[in-house]
Amino acid sequence: MPEGPRDGNPELTDLTSAFDPGRLDGSVPPIPASAVEIPDATVNAFPPAMNCRSLGITPVPLPNAPSAPPPGFKPRTTAHPAD
């Protein structure tokens, strides 16, 4: 990744410390599991339904944007599982 990880915790962002010789020979304690484990409830949860309203996003019309859909536009009226 050109910009590097976007993790807010600097202790977890730079994982090179995991290859510290002290960690490998046991003289330095390993990274605590609590810092790297993801709770089962999070892993096993189906992602919540997200839309602009639930995310607090207010769509804004673009200046000079056409007010009609493009020719041939056919919106879906129902969900099609095979599509």
How do residues 46-61 score in pLDDT, each as one tens digit?
Answer: 777 778 888 888 988 8
Residue for token digits 């409830």? 41
Q: Are 58 and 71 in contact (CB under 8 A)?
A: no
For 57-82, write each residue's pLDDT tens digit: 898 888 888 888 888 888 877 665 55
Residues 6+ apart with CB under 8 A from 22: 28
**So where are the chain's domains?**
10-54
Q: Is the pLDDT of residue 2 over 50?
A: no
pLDDT at 33: 78
| pTM over 0.85, yes/no | no
Q: What are phi and psi of 10, to 5 degrees?
A: -65, -25
Q: Are 33 and 39 in contact (CB under 8 A)?
A: no
pLDDT at 1: 42
